[in-house]
Amino acid sequence: MSGSNWCRIAWQGTAIEVEYQWVGPRTTDRPLMVFLHEGLGSVSLWKGFPAALCDALSCTGLVYSRPGYGQSTPRDPDDPWLPDFLERQACEVLPALLSELGVGQNHPPYWLFGHSDGGSIALIHAARFPGRLGGLVVVAPHVMVEDVSVRSIEAARNAYLMGDLRAGLARHHRDPDSAFWGWNGVWLSAAFRDWSIEHLLPDVVCPVLAIQGTEDPYGTLQQIQRIRDLAPNAELRILAQCGHSPHREQPRELSEWVEVFFADRLSNAQRPRHP
């Protein structure tokens, strides 16, 4: 990836800085692919995957760190995230960032590639802003809270407090405590146990490719099966012997599926309609 840039947006009554990078070929005749990272992710934690995928798709990519992550403005330690934190990212932060960067001006409808929490944000955004999107790729997304998710997030808390997780995150976040405790605190809160976006899935009308590994410790295959059942234009792909991060564990197969899905949907969108 090229070096990071920062843009300033207004959110929750204050100005914050958001770290972002452009990757892939710079073109305006193909859709922009916006990458939405996982619950502990950042620009740097994607490593080279977004650039490689965008090169294969011949499209421009936008990678950014959400507020509280990476080199973006850290979260105030006295400001815990609430159960609607994913909705706020999808409906407030992402639109503000895209507007500030001029996305949507003289450009085909953009696509979203979301991993884990980023996949949930992508689905919410697609439901709330249906006319803006060309398609979605969601990898290990969450549409509801499962017991397996809570157990794994509890294990992550123990690894952060007693293991080397904090040191690892410190390489990718200006304030690792901001990133970790915002995510961990809300996911383990009693108020979040009933969180679900299943009611929004019928409103996700754009094409959706939903992908998950069979060995994902943060969610069962029921997550993407609910997307298939409720979203009108969803397709599923399942990766055998793969955990929560297919773009790190099985990047070649993941990329091949995305390339085919992307090309097919662009071809369908460009095909002339006959009366």
* Single pTM value for the model: 0.95
Q: Give alpha helix (H) positions in the chain.
A: 49-57, 85-88, 94-100, 117-128, 147-162, 165-170, 176-187, 222-230, 246-249, 251-270
Domains (range + CATH), the chain: 5-270 (3.40.50.1820)
Q: For the segment 213-228, what is each residue's pLDDT rounded down to a tens digit?
A: 999 999 999 999 999 9
Instruction: Please name the helix (run of DSSP H) or strand (run of DSSP E) that holds residue 133, with its range, or none.
Output: strand 133-139
Q: Please give the pLDDT value at position 78.
A: 85
Q: Please give the pLDDT value at position 97.
A: 96
Does 43 score more than 60 pLDDT?
A: yes
Cα separation, 48 vs 21, in Å, equals: 12
107 DSSP assignment: S
Q: Show the CA angle centred on residue 218, arms to residues 117 and 247, nearest 5°.
A: 65
Q: Please give the pLDDT value at position 257.
A: 97
Q: Is 26 exposed, middle or buried (0-12, 13-18, 19+ CB in 10 A)?
A: exposed
Q: For the segment 189-200, what is each residue's pLDDT rounded down to a tens digit?
A: 999 999 999 999
Q: Helix (H, G, I), strand (E, B), or coil: what is residue 152?
A: helix
Cα separation, 175 vs 75, in Å, equals: 8
Q: Please give the pLDDT value at position 247.
A: 97
For residues 89-108, give the mean pLDDT.
87
Q: For the segment 1-15, what is each residue's pLDDT rounded down to a tens digit?
A: 457 899 999 888 889
For residues 24-29, give the mean pLDDT.
89
